[in-house]
Amino acid sequence: MTMKAKKKWAACILALAVACALPAPAALAAESHTQEDAVIVLYTNDVHCTSDDGMSYAAIAGYKAEMEAAYGEDSVTLVDTGDAIQGGILGSMSSGSWIIDIMNQAGYDLAVPGNHEFDFRVDTFLDIVQNQAQFPYLSCNFADSDGNPILEPYRIVSYGDVDVAYIGISTPETLSKTAPTYFQDESGNYLYSFYQGGDGQELYDQVQETVDAALADQADYVVALAHLGEDGQSSPWTSTEVIANTTGIDIVLDGHSHTVEPSRTVQNAAGEDVLLSQTGTKAESLGKLTISPDGSMTTELIPLAEVDTGSAAYTAAASYIESIQAEYEEKAQEVVAASEVELTVNDPDTGERAVRSAETNLGDLCADAYRMVLGADIGFINGGGVRDNLAAGEITYGDIIAVHPFGNLACLVEVSGQQILDALELGAMQAGESENGGFLQVSGLKYTINTAIPSSVELDDAGNFLSVSGDRRVSDVQVLDSAAGEYAPLDPAATYTLASHNYMLKDGGDGYAMFGKENITILQDEVMVDNQVLITYITQNLGGVVGEEYADPRGQGRITMVNEPTAEPAPEQPAEPSQPADTLTYVVLPGDSLWKIAQKQYGTGTKWTLIYEANKDVILHPNAIWVNQILQIPENA
């Protein structure tokens, strides 16, 4: 007999004992509530305002009504597992409020905050929870600094005789993938926690404690509503890791990684199978969990394009969404610029998103906008901050909002060359392996990433940068001398002006802790909203039209990706005391790096370390060589 069967058997014995002690009418009344039909749980994740200005929610409302007609209203629950209110014009122009109004209309019953629920600051989200959302938000691991829960950890929903516990789990990556300062006081002390410590153990323990409490509350099934994801970069807080380190969860309805996962099983800490499902992103489909009367569970993904659009529920929701769309339509349709070329976040060959893992022409444009409008040496934009394509032709305000929906504020700061090197290393951490919202698109800068070198970036428990402990993946970093029109090697000891937004520069978003208010000198503080920066650059610097210089969808060659394994140099033989090693003298040329010099001299760049070792007295860092510098090159390498 399984643990759940034993629990049900014990519950039946208890119910029988209570029934025998009650008068006959009460006992008969208890029997009349026996659950005959299946329980249906509909689920969404990472809707990000949808890809059709909210209209997908009309299909969600229509399908929910269809299920209620088939199974009964009390047998159907609609849930969301995070990242609903940000990522499109509806969310950006209303700080998420319009999306919540639409979710109310669609009939959501439960939700979990993803990291993007906090993009408009914690107070805004909590105001939504308390004063606007007509459904509860759940999270067992979102707490204040004293460990007190901010939201309900779980809620039990009764379907006749069947009690289902829904527990909420939010990703601890929220502390770095949202601006860390949103969760801190003015002194940098964290006011909130997501149980991010202990290399995952704090989260596992908190989830287990919540599951145990729900089972003690006589839950028959435990459904985890999680915003954790399956990407390796989210370790040790992925949904699969949480399952593997806990017991008692029957199914995880997941989010965060945008995975299209109709159904899979993962073994928990007791070796039992746990279901896992996720719907992808942008409401392309609606998840459907069926809990049958015999206790079996199945999941499937329902394409929303196939939902009946003629139902009363669909029509009512669509009408409501249209009334909201009318509020912003006039502003969104205003033409602000034009482009002669298609500007993309995608790989031109595969059509898959590339802006979080490689250079793209839209990434170049957005980084150029920050650098040129604020007059900086270097411009940065995180790939996760560039959200949508711009088609050739007229560009509207709504198009620009879709590219930059977060409302970040432009800043100009002074930083050291070493901070730039560390930031590039952090951004390249997952290059060649997976996407990373912190991947840096750059302006006034070019560099090489060698994906054959394992990342040695060290992070803290919250995912913030600490150090680089070993070999660097990023090399040949060069800064544009705008006056000369040439690139020169970046000097780690020099000071540069850097333009980006408050999320990265002041708040340390995406883990960029080498920046932050304590580590930078602010020259211009939050001077312009991100989407206005892009509009200003196109209209004033480019004359209103994006031209052919941005035609190549792969960008302008600012980021070079290589995969060149580095061989361990052979042990050096001790030189005869009276016979020093032969050397050549080399004068550094524009565009040189130690790698390129080694290629010229030895036929392979992998021997760059020999040059570095021979010149340590004049080279402070492998990336820090300059034009006309004289280096000694070992001749017999």
3-state SS record for 111-136: ECCCHHHHCCCHHHHHHHHHHCCCCC
Q: Three-state DSSP class for 569?
A: coil
Distance CA 112, CA 96 (A): 15
How many C-beta atoms lie closer than 10 Å to residue 632's C-beta?
15
Assess contact for 161 and 34: CB atoms under 8 A: yes
Q: What are phi and psi of 69, to 5 degrees?
A: -65, -35
Instruction: Give pLDDT, residue 624.
Output: 67
Beta bridge partners of 302: 286
Token look-up 């050096």 returns 572
Tell me the DSSP string of 489-557: E--TTSEEEEEEEHHHHTT-GGG-TTSSGGGSEEEE-S-SBHHHHHHHIIIIISTTEE-GGG--TT-SS
Neighbours of 272 (CB within 10 A): 16
What are the b/e assignments for 522-556, b being 16+ CB within 10 Å? Answer: ebeeeebbbbbbbbbbbeeebeeebeeebeebbbb
| pLDDT per 10-residue tile (average), the chain, 637 residues | 40 34 28 60 96 92 96 97 90 90 98 94 96 98 96 97 97 87 89 96 98 98 97 92 98 96 97 98 96 96 93 96 89 93 95 96 98 97 96 95 89 96 97 93 97 95 93 97 91 96 93 93 87 94 97 96 76 44 73 76 76 78 69 79
Q: List C-alpha distances in Å: 364 to 168, 170, 200, 360, 604.
A: 39, 33, 36, 6, 31
179: closest CA among 438, 525, 564?
438
Neighbours of 123 (CB within 10 A): 10
Burial 275-285 (b: 16+ CB within 10 A, else e): bbbbbbbbbbb
pLDDT of residue 572: 52
Q: Which residues contact 50 (CB under 8 A, 6 or more apart)?
A: 56, 57, 88, 282, 283
H or E element, residue 419: helix 417-427
Please check whether residue 502 is in contact with residue 385, taking contact to mean a CB–CB distance below 8 angstroms.
no
How far apart, in Å, are the Cα atoms of 336 and each of 211, 325, 458, 537, 546? 52, 20, 43, 11, 12
pTM above 0.95, yes or no: no
Give CA–CA dist 219/157, Å, rounded. 9
- 399's CB contacts (< 8 A; 6+ apart) are 388, 390, 391
Q: Cβ-count burial of 346 within 10 angstroms (0-12 exposed, 13-18 middle, 19+ buried)? A: middle
E-strand stretches of 247-320: 251-253, 260-267, 273-279, 285-291, 297-303
| CA gyration radius, the chain | 28
* Tokens representing residue 33 in the block: 């509530």
Which residues are registered as beta bridge partners of 152?
Answer: 138
Angle at 505 between CA 501 and CA 506, to 5 degrees: 100
CB 210 within 8 A of CB 539: no
Predicted pLDDT at 602: 80
Strand order in the sheet with 39-44: 110-111, 76-80, 39-44, 285-291, 297-303
pLDDT of residue 163: 97
Torsion of CA 151, 156, 159, 161, to 10 degrees: -170
Q: Is 570 exposed, middle or buried (0-12, 13-18, 19+ CB in 10 A)?
A: exposed
Sign of the Cα torsion 589, 594, 599, 600 reads positive
Q: Which residues pair with 265 in a beta bridge?
A: 275
